[in-house]
Amino acid sequence: MKKIKAVVNTLDRKSHINREVYGHFSEHLGRCIYNGIYVGENSPIPNTNGVRNDVLDAFRQIRMPVLRWPGGCFADEYHWRDGIGDKSTRKKMINTHWGGVTEDNSFGTHEFFDMCEQIGCEPYLAGNLGSGTVEELADWIEYITFDGVSPNAELRRKNGREKPWKLKYLGIGNENWGCGGNMRPEHYADLYRQYQTYCRNFSGNELFKIACGPNADDYNWTKTLLDIVKDWHTKAISLHYYTVPTGNWDKKGSATEFSDEEYYSTIAKTRYIEELIVKHQAIISQYSDNIKLIVDEWGCWYDVEEGTNPGFLYQQNTMRDALVAAVNLNIFNNHSDIVYMANLAQAVNVLQSLLLTEGEKLVKTPTFHVFDMFKTHQDSELLYSFCENDADANAQAISHSASIAKDGSLTLTYANTSLDTGYSIECELIGKKAQKAQARILTSDNVRAHNTFDAPETVLPKEYAVQSTGSGISFDLPAHSVVSIVIS
Considering only the stretches 71-79, 287-295, 421-429, 442-450, report the one whose residues sit in contact with ligand AHR under the rule CB under 6 A.
Answer: 71-79
Given 47, 128, 145, 174, the residue binding ligand AHR (CB under 6 A):
174
In whole angstroms, what is the distance from residue 385 CA to residue 402 CA? Answer: 6
Backbone angles phi, psi at 111, to 5 degrees: -65, -40
Considering only the stretches 43-51, 70-78, 192-200, 257-265, report the one whose residues sit in contact with ligand AHR under the rule CB under 6 A.
Answer: 70-78
CB of 303 to ligand AHR, least distance (A): 14
Of residues 255 through 314, those in contact with ligand AHR by CB under 6 A are 297
Binding mask 404-443 for ligand AHR (x = CB under 6 A): ----------------------------------------
CB of 127 to ligand AHR, least distance (A): 14
346 and 300 in contact (C-beta within 8 Å)?
no
CB of 280 to ligand AHR, least distance (A): 17
**Residue 320 amino acid letter:** R
Alpha helices in 217-352 (DSSP H): 219-229, 260-284, 319-334
Q: Is 181 in the site for ligand AHR (CB under 6 A)?
A: no
In whole angstroms, what is the distance from residue 235 CA to residue 452 CA? Answer: 41
Name the residue nearer to ligand AHR (CB basis): 76 or 142.
Answer: 76
**Residue 124 amino acid letter:** Y
Q: Give Cβ neighbours of residue 127 (< 8 Å, ≥ 6 apart).
A: 75, 137, 140, 170, 171, 172, 173, 195, 199
Q: Is 27 in the site for ligand AHR (CB under 6 A)?
A: yes
Considering only the stretches 65-73, 88-96, 216-224, 474-482, report the one whose residues sit in contact with ligand AHR under the rule CB under 6 A.
Answer: 65-73
Of residues 316 through 375, those in contact with ligand AHR by CB under 6 A are 345-346, 351
In whole angstroms, what is the distance from residue 220 CA to residue 226 CA? Answer: 10
Catalytic (active site) residue 297 = yes
Query: Catalytic one among 27, 111, 122, 175?
Result: 175
Phi/psi region, residue 480 (left: phi>0; alpha: psi -120 to 50; beta: rest), is left
Length of the chain: 488
Q: How many helices (H) and strands (E) does the chain have?
A: 9, 24
Q: Is 17 in the site for ligand AHR (CB under 6 A)?
A: no
271 and 327 in contact (C-beta within 8 Å)?
yes
Best CA proximity match to 189, nearest among 260, 257, 237, 121: 237
Given 70, 71, 130, 164, the residue binding ligand AHR (CB under 6 A):
71
Catalytic (active site) residue 428 = no
Q: Is 72 in the site for ligand AHR (CB under 6 A)?
A: yes
CB of 151 to ligand AHR, least distance (A): 31
DSSP state of 309: -
Query: Catalytic one among 111, 274, 297, 381?
Result: 297
In whole angstroms, what is the distance from residue 126 CA to residue 146 CA? Answer: 19
The residue number with the shortest CB distance to ligand AHR is 72
Given 64, 73, 199, 412, the residue binding ligand AHR (CB under 6 A):
73
DSSP-based three-state secondary structure for 33: coil
Contacts with ligand AHR: how many residues (CB under 6 A)?
10
Residue positions annotated with a catalytic role:
175, 297
Q: Which residues bind ligand AHR (CB under 6 A)?
A: 27, 71-73, 174-175, 297, 345-346, 351
